[in-house]
Amino acid sequence: MAAPLLAISNLTVQFRVDSGWVTAIDDVSLDVDAGDCVGVVGESGSGKSVTALSILGLHASATTRISSGTILYQGQDLLRARASAMRRIRGSDIAMIFQDPMSSLNPVLTIADQISETLRQHQGLTGEAARKRVVELLGLVRIPDAARRADDYPHRLSGGMRQRVMIAMAIACKPRLLIADEPTTALDVTIQAQILELLRDLRKELSMSVMLISHDLGVIAEFAQRVIVMYAGRVVEDAPVAQLFRRPVHPYTMGLIAAVPKLDSDASRLATIPGRIPSPQEVIPGCRFSPRCTLVQDGCLDAQPSMQPVGDRQSARCPPRLLALGERHG
């Protein structure tokens, strides 16, 4: 089997706070295969964005430390790569789009200026050649009247159009991997559907891998092929999308799927997960979900459970559930 395009192994990242160091993500491992579309889902503080920012080395170095782990991109460890090598990879091999397109765009530069910056940096395109490619890219992200729009400033565009510009910028150098961090969260639902459709088409046209980060299980179900579920800084489940929704293994995944309000049900009371999301500073012995878990057992508080495989291509961090499932199958 071919090595994955991106392999994150046992990544632990800590941030400095007044009282010392807190662990933002702990022992995170995940793979992105070439052409794959991996969804990372979780609530606030689950560590989804911290994981993504680590891939591109975008953390503030003074207040962040990578305590352990490796991030292999085509065999090269990005955590130990030189700054110049990272600059070549960032925006060219691996590109990223963020939630809020307005704060990602420079308000005093035209769309064309901003997209051509990437083209100049990575491909040495200038002048007419760059201009031609900008218009081509704007057409690729389905911006109508691209040649005229290229000279607009960001404030002239709607939120959906701005996100299209961000995507144009991200795909300018035909990246192998696109990291999309909540790309549709700030958008209205009909515009969200348009952007997801665009990303799906581009993924095929450019045969790139996508890592989609979202809090919305609906977006994940529709877009991802494989799903990583994160909770309080740890990966708790990793499964192909159909399997995850059909047979969620981790109690948190089960609770999360149940808590999503359903569009096709008249039931008014929603299933809830009791308690609240812990802050990173909170010390919780053993499994970090145990205080909220309805299936908690004595052993859950003893040690941090490890990720264990269950069936084909699925794994979860919950020994009691794995044991129960194993018995049912065996």
Partner 1 sequence: MVDQSRPIVEVRDLCKTFAVKHAGGVSTLHALSSVNFDIMRGETLGLVGESGSGKTTAGRILVGLIPATSGTVSLFGHSITGPDGRAQLASVRSRLQFVFQDPYASLNPRMRIGNAIAEPLDIAGSHSRKDRNDRVAELLELVGLPRNSVERYPHEFSGGQRQRIVIARALALNPDFVVCDEPVSALDVSMQAQIVNLLLDLQDRLGLSYLFIAHDLAVVRAVSTRVAVMYAGAIVETAPKAQIYSDPQHPYSRALLDAVPRADPDFVRHPVVAGEVPSLLDPPSGCCFHPRCAFAMERCRVEVPLLKESGADGRVACHLFST
Are residues 74 and 175 in contact, defined by beta-carbon separation less than 8 angstroms?
no
Stretch that binds partner 1, among 26-34, 88-96, 162-170, 216-224 (CB under 8 A): 216-224
Q: Indicate whether 81 belongs to the interface with partner 1 (CB under 8 A).
A: no
Nearer to partner 1 by C-beta: 35 or 45?
45
With binding defined as CB under 8 A, does residue 152 bind partner 1?
Answer: no
CA neighbor of 28 nearest in space, from 44, 41, 11? 11
204 binds partner 1 (CB under 8 A): no
Helix axes 189-205, 159-171, angle to 10 degrees: 20
- Strands of the chain (E only): list them: 6-17, 20-32, 37-41, 64-73, 76-77, 94-97, 177-181, 209-214, 226-231, 234-240, 308-309, 315-316
Residue among 121, 222, 307, 311 that touches partner 1 (CB under 8 A): 222
Q: Which two tokens stand for residue 19?
A: 């009282």
Rule CB under 8 A: is residue 196 a binding residue for partner 1? yes
Residues 6+ apart with CB under 8 A from 277: 43, 44, 45, 46, 232
Q: Is 85 in the site for partner 1 (CB under 8 A)?
A: no
> Which of positions 271-290 make contact with partner 1 (CB under 8 A)?
271-273, 276-277
Q: Which region among 5-13, 15-23, 100-108, 269-277 touches partner 1 (by CB under 8 A)? A: 269-277
Which of 269, 283, 294, 328 binds partner 1 (CB under 8 A)? It is 269
- Total of chain residues touching partner 1, rule CB under 8 A: 46
How many Cα atoms within 13 Å fall on the side-chain side of residue 62?
0
List the beta bridge partners of residue 239. 227
Restricted to residues 160-189, the positions that interact with partner 1 (CB under 8 A) are: 160-161, 188-189
241 touches partner 1 (CB under 8 A)? yes
Q: Please report, for residues 6, 22, 156, 253, 281, the alpha-carbon distance to residue 18 in angstroms, rounded to integers and kept in the order given.
A: 34, 10, 42, 33, 11
Comparing CB distances to partner 1, the nearer of 119 and 198 is: 198
94, 97, 135, 217: which one binds partner 1 (CB under 8 A): 217
43 is a contact residue toward partner 1 (CB under 8 A): yes
Applying CB under 8 A, among 72, 216, 286, 296 the residue interacting with partner 1 is: 216
